[in-house]
Structure 1
């Protein structure tokens, strides 16, 4: 169970890979992107 072990979280971090022990963190969608603030072409100013 060291840095080079392929099946541990520390080994995945060391190798720079992902897997069951180290899942990827998904980016959260911001509320502004969902609403489309200041991007609606129908609004006239």
Structure 2
């Protein structure tokens, strides 16, 4: 049986979990906008 690869050095502190995916996924970059201080819009 194959043994899983262990991470000896992780480049990213962020991980992504996807259901039914066994691979370890690293988040290399992401973008977003801060919306907490803006008025609510319907």
TM-score, normalised to structure 1, is 0.25
Which structure's relative contact order is higher, taking Cα pairs within 8 Å and 6+ residues apart?
A: 2
**Considering only CA atoms, is the larger Rg found in Structure 1 or Structure 2?**
1
